[in-house]
């Protein structure tokens, strides 16, 4: 059964003109895009997004960062998409991320990290519901899925 994950190209990724390159990575992997919108995340929405960290010293900083400029918010779908997307993104900060990952190839900051991806099915469901209604997510058959997943026999 396919799962879904929320991926956000954060304000630093948008400002650095990396949105298309990041989307291309997920498309090239074979993940199915089922929802996308380009938005300015409000401080209130950013607080809800990072609510799990509300008692941590970095909370106010990440809220300010996520709401500091426009972001591309997307929902991707595939079997194992959460684990795949997290591997593709790399370590939290580009300084530590391996080459070949999104953060490793495009980031060097110890503060900004270009992209967000859900870390579990529960957080994916919660995060997707923060940004999308059911009507905004498109269910369709990916024509090359059998070739991607080796199920064409």
Q: What percent of the chain has pLDDT over 90?
A: 88
pLDDT band at 149 (very low <50, low <70, confident <90, very high): confident
Torsions phi, psi of 145, nearest 5? -55, -40
**pLDDT above 80: residue 152:** no
Counted domains in the chain: 1
CA atoms within 13 A on the CB side of 67: 15
Q: What is the mean pLDDT of the chain?
A: 95
Question: Does 109 reside within a domain?
Answer: yes
pLDDT at 153 over 80: no
Q: Which of 117, 41, 126, 58 is nearest to 85 (CA)?
A: 117
- Whether residue 7 lies inside any domain: the answer is yes
Q: Domain limits at 86? A: 3-37+68-133
At residue 119 the predicted structure's pLDDT band, cuts being 50, 70 and 90, is very high
Q: Are 86 and 76 within 8 A, CB to CB?
A: no
Predicted TM-score (pTM) of this structure: 0.95
117 located within any domain: yes
Q: Return the CATH number at 114.
A: 3.30.70.141
Cβ-proximal residues to 2 (8 Å cutoff; 6+ apart), any chain: 32, 77, 78, 79, 81
The yes-or-no answer on residue 116 being catalytic is yes
Query: 124 lies in a domain?
Result: yes
Pick 114 or 144 by higher pLDDT.
114
In this predicted structure, what is the pLDDT of residue 146? 85
């Amino acid at each position: 059964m396919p799962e879904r994950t929320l991926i956000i190209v954060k304000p630093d990724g948008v400002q650095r003109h990396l949105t298309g390159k990041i989307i291309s990575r997920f498309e090239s992997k074979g993940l199915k895009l089922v929802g996308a919108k380009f938005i300015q995340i409000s401080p209130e929405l950013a607080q809800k997004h990072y609510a799990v960290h509300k008692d941590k010293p970095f909370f106010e900083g990440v809220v300010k960062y996520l709401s500091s400029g426009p972001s591309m918010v997307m929902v991707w779908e595939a079997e194992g998409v959460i684990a795949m997307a997290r591997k593709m993104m790399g370590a939290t900060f580009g300084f530590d991320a391996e080459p070949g990952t999104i953060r490793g190839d495009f980031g060097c900051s110890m503060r900004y990290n270009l992209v967000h991806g859900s870390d579990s099915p529960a957080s994916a469901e919660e995060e997707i519901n923060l940004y999308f209604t059911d009507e905004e997510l498109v269910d369709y058959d990916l024509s090359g899925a059998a070739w991607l997943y080796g199920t064409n026999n």
